[in-house]
């Protein structure tokens, strides 16, 4: 039953062919048996999941509930969950139990979804490989010696391995789309402001956005409809009606204008990935779309601009972890300064410390204009590139990452090489645009994702394009053979 999509499972639950309790027990048994090979979960809440499943069965028995009622999902461990540890993959928050639920968690619970547990992630969402977690690296179920991508690698690996029906994720610079591509599943990052950030632990506040990782575009549409919408508790949430995403999936894509950035198909792109992307574009043409080359001339500046902005915001956001109010506190501090210094030194990992230091430097009085202000100007230029592009085309397509999943440890000693893993995804976050990754093929037996980029608030179109693609291809049905 774990090979069924959410839409298929929901139909079985509504017809009484399956109970949520049986389904939840099935997923919990798979997690217990297979999780040690992947390390995709940080916390599993079996008792809470079974209690939620029992409530879901009662609702379904009364003829109530919706398409997510009784569906077992997981949450990235960056979303606060009342009564269950929220660690953000860090020693700093290893013992933190939130007194409230994030809005995303709250809304999916109201929709009847069953939370199995919290998935592993790069520490404070800072990473492209899920190797910076305090709890150890996550392994890719397609090849356990390779990374699943980051920072939502635990969510992507769990969905790919069928250890949950779907999972939430967050995307600051590609952290939903890149792991979805590496693990052969579907992921969507909505427009900035579409999904509430309340209760989502901050990394880069002007970049972070919650989203979904699932098997299919249809499943993503079901979850996004429940998650999205205005939240007065989040000052970055936009008061805008939420479309009925599932209802728009059958939109015909004949005549669709697809733009392919010239800057994304040159040096640095793995030949196998390039072949998969080219073949996908040919297939879209056969489906009635028109493909044309476009220019995003400021794309080469996105890595430098993004990391200055992101690290500066990280430096500010992580200042609150001082060993006083919550989080890790060192033993027997000599004085207040010693408390601050040792608590932060012990609580944060190497990559988080690196980003805090760089961000603090960029925000300092003598360098603010030279770095942070200039990065914000680059951000504006990148957003303008996309605005001009969407005057010519309806959607932009290209690779998600330069390569398929790389071996564990291959880039941990070279931060710049690691940062370049996100070269095709960062610009969307700088501009605040929606984007998706959909399974499009394989290179050297590893999944390759195709990136779809829409204009602001165009999630309905992206989900429809992805759904139509998945009606004519089987890449999203492929499952990794990792079980012993």
Q: DSSP states of 155-193 as a string?
A: HHHHHHTTSSSEEEEE-SSSTTHHHHHHHT-EEEE--TT
Cα dist from 363 to 304, 313, 351, 367, 373, whole Å: 15, 9, 18, 6, 9
Cα dist from 15 to 1, 3, 20, 73, 295, whole Å: 15, 18, 12, 20, 51
Residues designated catalytic? 76, 151, 175
The single-letter DSSP state of residue 242 is P
Please name the helix (run of DSSP H) or strand (run of DSSP E) that holds residue 222, with its range, or none: helix 217-227
Report the distance separating Cα 156 and Cα 168, nearest Å. Answer: 9
Exposed, middle or buried by CB within 10 Å (0-12, 13-18, 19+), for 303? Answer: middle
Tally of residues, the chain: 484
CA 153, chain centre distance (Å): 8
Report the distance separating Cα 179 and Cα 163, nearest Å. Answer: 16
CA 257, chain centre distance (Å): 26
Handedness of CA 169, 171, 176, 182 (dihedral sign): negative
**Nearest residue to 265 (alpha-carbon basis) of 307, 306, 305, 296:** 296
**C-beta of residue 352 within 8 angstroms of C-beta of residue 132:** yes
**C-beta of residue 247 within 8 angstroms of C-beta of residue 415:** no
**C-beta of residue 158 within 8 angstroms of C-beta of residue 40:** yes
Secondary-structure percent of the chain, ordered helix, strand, coil, rounded to 5: 45, 15, 45
Report the distance separating Cα 195 and Cα 62, nearest Å. Answer: 30
Q: DSSP states of 435-454 as a string?
A: EEEEEEEEETTEEEEEEEE-
Report the distance separating Cα 438 and Cα 17, nearest Å. Answer: 30
């Amino acid at each position: 039953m774990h090979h069924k999509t959410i839409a298929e499972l929901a139909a079985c639950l509504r017809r009484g062919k399956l109970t949520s309790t049986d389904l939840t027990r099935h997923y919990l048994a798979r997690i217990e048996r297979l999780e040690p090979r992947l390390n995709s979960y940080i916390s599993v809440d079996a008792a809470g999941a079974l209690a939620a499943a029992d409530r879901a069965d009662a609702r379904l028995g009364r003829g109530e509930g919706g398409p997510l009622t009784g569906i077992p999902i997981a949450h990235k461990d960056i979303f606060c969950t009342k009564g269950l540890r929220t660690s953000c993959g860090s020693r700093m928050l290893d013992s933190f139990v939130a007194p409230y639920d994030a809005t995303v968690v709250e809304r999916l619970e109201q929709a009847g979804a069953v939370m199995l547990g919290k998935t592993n992630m790069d520490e404070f969402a800072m990473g492209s490989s899920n190797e910076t977690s305090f709890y150890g690296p996550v392994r890719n179920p397609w090849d356990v010696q390779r990374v699943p991508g980051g920072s939502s690698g635990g969510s992507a690996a769990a969905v790919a391995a069928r250890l949950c029906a779907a999972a939430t994720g967050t995307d600051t610079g590609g952290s939903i789309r890149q792991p979805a591509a590496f693990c052969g599943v579907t992921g969507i990052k909505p427009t900035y402001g579409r999904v509430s950030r309340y209760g989502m632990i901050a990394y880069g506040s002007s970049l972070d956005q919650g989203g979904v990782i699932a098997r299919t575009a249809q499943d993503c549409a079901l979850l996004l409809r429940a998650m999205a919408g205005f939240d007065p508790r989040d000052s970055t949430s936009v008061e805008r009606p939420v479309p009925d995403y599932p209802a728009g999936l059958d939109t015909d894509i004949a005549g669709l204008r697809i733009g392919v950035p010239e800057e994304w198909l040159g040096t640095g792109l793995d030949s196998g990935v390039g072949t998969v992307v080219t073949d996908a574009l040919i297939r879209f043409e056969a489906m009635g779309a028109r493909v044309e080359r476009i220019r995003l001339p400021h794309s080469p500046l996105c890595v430098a601009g993004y990391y200055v902005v992101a690290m500066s915001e990280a430096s500010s956001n992580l200042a609150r972890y001082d060993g006083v109010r919550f989080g890790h506190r060192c033993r027997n501090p000599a004085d207040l300064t010693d408390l601050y210094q040792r608590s932060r030194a012990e609580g944060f990992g190497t990559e988080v410390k690196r980003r805090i230091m760089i961000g603090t430097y960029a925000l300092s009085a003598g360098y603010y204009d030279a770095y942070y202000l200039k990065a914000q100007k680059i951000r504006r230029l990148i957003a303008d590139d996309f605005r001009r592009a969407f005057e010519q085309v309806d959607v932009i397509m290209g690779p998600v990452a330069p390569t398929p999943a790389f071996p564990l440890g291959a880039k941990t000693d070279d931060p710049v090489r690691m940062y370049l893993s996100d070269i095709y995804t960062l610009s969307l976050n700088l501009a605040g645009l929606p984007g998706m990754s959909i399974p499009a093929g394989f290179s050297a037996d590893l999944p390759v994702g195709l990136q779809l980029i829409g204009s602001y608030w165009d999630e309905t179109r992206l989900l429809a394009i992805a759904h139509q693609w998945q009606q004519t291809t089987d890449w999203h049905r492929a499952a990794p053979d990792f079980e012993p």
